[in-house]
Chain A
Amino acid sequence: MSVNATPGGADVAADETATRSGARHAAVPAQRNRRRKPPLSENKKAERRLGWLLCAPAALVMVLVTAYPILYSVWLSLQRFDLRFPDQREFIGLENYVTVLTNEFWWTAFGVTALITVVTVAIELVLGMGLALIMHRTLVGRGIVRTAALIPYGIVTVVAAFSWRYAWTPGTGYLANLFSEGAPLTERASSLAIIMLAEIWKTTPFMALLLMAGLALVPEDLLKAASTDGATAWQRFTKVMLPVMKPAILVALLFRTLDAFRVFDNIFVLTAGGNETSSVSMLAYNNLIRGLNLGIGSTMSVLIFLTVAIIAFVFVKLFGTAAPGSDDGERR
């Protein structure tokens, strides 16, 4: 078998894949749990080889591009290192972590970020599910709805943020004039609300698209059968659709949360962090890019990374076997 990185090569690989798995399935009774490991048979070895071979290109690219930058960042976080004072560079262990974790700016920003993450992801999940159902099921104008609904996600974030800013500035924007006398972007609560609105508007389509593709996997005949058995719409949704969609929901939640926790553009444009609306990413940006303090900046990056990793871990545990890579994922 020849494998290379071109699309043509992948076709070959995919065909091969189909052959092998087909062969394997013919040999192993379908109901048998794959986890029961017989001594390594020829088939098993072939399966391993194929698995590695298929994963190798993706793994290689990811590791080659990111291994050094990530390790380097972690290494920097253990140093006192300001780009402007290179002579003072020294290894200081965890001191940067102590500095950051005892700093009130950090915790304020952390609170803001957590709030934005929880609120936006929760609302997006609900709205996204509704949107997905509409995009998937609608009887009229399906193409238009799907395309229109995805446009917000496709618009360059910074431009969208600027347009929101104009819209919410008194005297210059249609929304500010609509609602109140004051300037909503100069107060903390209303600023945060607008930031979240902008986030939700922008990224609900991401959620919806992933969920819609999950919906596409729900077998029609199963729904029909449930309907005939007298299941209500809600029962059909919770009993038939949700279980099939679980992996899609996990992926959508996981990647939205990762992104939401790193919110930057909207805040940067809308308030520049004024009235205590800074996020942890803005703090990292200010220390790393503006302050050129590579030590503190990298420390913040590592801390953001750890936080997100914990969130991801919790999600993956909650979803159990629906998570990619878990052994029992196979559908009966």
Chain B
Amino acid sequence: MAVETTTRAKLRWGLLDVVVVVFALIPVLWIASLSFKTPATLTDGRFWPREWTLDNYRTIFATDQFVRALVNSIGIALIATVIAVVLGAMAAYAISRLDFPGKRLLVGVSLLIAMFPQVSLVSPLFDIERQLGLFDTWPGLILPYITFALPLAIYTLSAFFKQIPWDLEKAAKMDGATQGQAFRRVIAPLAAPGLFTTAILVFIFCWNDFLFAISLTSTERSRTVPVALSFFTGESQFEDPTGAICAAAVVITIPIILFVLFFQRRIVSGLTSGAVKG
């Protein structure tokens, strides 16, 4: 693509950017706006709050319930993401690069696992975990998260590994690079977009899961944020703690933003002419 950095091109992209950001963020702003509304004006039909309040934020941080859940969520999602991406990358490398019997079986089976409705797997999983003493522990959630993230990880990564021009590695070595250098300078940068994309997707999957988290935990020891939201209480049985839930939703979006900010920079155009020379 022509790399013309004229003002007009910039303007055009800027306009498109605005469209994207507006489309993506208006509903998010609405949630944020709800979190700043007072109970009396919560549903007055206005987009922006008439009276601003921080009460909802004070409420969620008033006890350590929410903070504990945040710690659990971050820990569990990070560990599960790292393990799933590493295991997924190993398998994906083998699938896309090596020839061995059982490969198609693995690809097929992992897809089957991704397809089975999780709602009917939860009860048997609960039985197993209770017998193994995994119920209501971090590993008790990490294990299923890895399992159900792996199919996506394997598929994504093998799709990317397949498109990597592995011959470049050889070319680099001919240019005098050592094996390690060739891998680091040529293959790793090419694999990076796939790896970081997978990491983001797996992280968000673990972060947002409700079904496993509510079924396989019972105390604050391992309860994650989406589940903690369902334990928020209104003033009485029928009052929804909408403000507090929205405030919590805003707060728990921040780690996602940080995570994405950190990783998206690595999803760049992998293959430029510069990459080959290292």
Residues of chain A whose beta carbon lies under 8 Å from any beta carbon of chain B: 5, 7, 10, 13-15, 17-19, 21-22, 25-26, 30, 34, 44, 47-48, 50-52, 54-55, 57-59, 61-63, 65-66, 68-70, 72-73, 76, 131, 134-141, 143-160, 162-164, 166-167, 169, 171-174, 176-177, 201, 205-206, 209-210, 212-221, 223-224, 227, 236, 244, 247-248, 250-251, 254-255, 258, 262, 264-265, 281, 284-285, 288-289, 297-298, 300-301, 304-305, 308-309, 312, 322-325, 327, 329-331
Chain B residues in contact with chain A, CB under 8 A?
A: 1-2, 5, 9-10, 13-14, 16-17, 20-21, 23-25, 27-28, 30-31, 34, 42-47, 82-83, 86-104, 106-117, 119-121, 124-125, 128, 143-144, 146-147, 150-152, 154-156, 158-160, 162-167, 169-170, 173, 179-180, 182-183, 187, 190, 193-194, 196-197, 200-201, 204, 207-208, 210, 225-226, 229, 242, 245-246, 248-249, 252-253, 256-257, 260-261, 264-265, 267-273
Classify the interface of chain B: helix, strand, loop or mixed: helix
Check if B143 sits within 8 Å of A65, measured CB to CB.
yes
How many pairs of A and B residues are in contact by the CB < 8 Å rule? 372
Q: 5 tightest CB-CB pairs across the interface, nearest first? A: A51-B100, A172-B43, A154-B256, A325-B107, A247-B159
| A150 to B91 alpha-carbon distance, docked (Å) | 27
* Interchain nearest-CB distance for B117 vs A (Å): 4
**Could you write out 25 A-B pairs with CB less than 8 Å apart?**
A21-B98, A26-B170, A48-B99, A51-B99, A55-B95, A65-B125, A69-B128, A73-B121, A76-B120, A138-B17, A160-B249, A163-B30, A171-B43, A210-B156, A214-B159, A214-B163, A215-B269, A218-B271, A247-B163, A264-B119, A297-B120, A324-B107, A324-B155, A324-B158, A325-B103
Out of A14, A153, A251, which one reaches B155, CB within 8 Å?
A251
A215 to B246, CA, bound (A): 35
Contact of B162 (CB < 8 Å), options: A5, A143, A309, A331: A331
- Chain B residues with CB under 8 Å of A330's CB are 162
* Nearest CB in chain B to that of A47: its residue: B98
B204 close to A153 (CB less than 8 A): yes
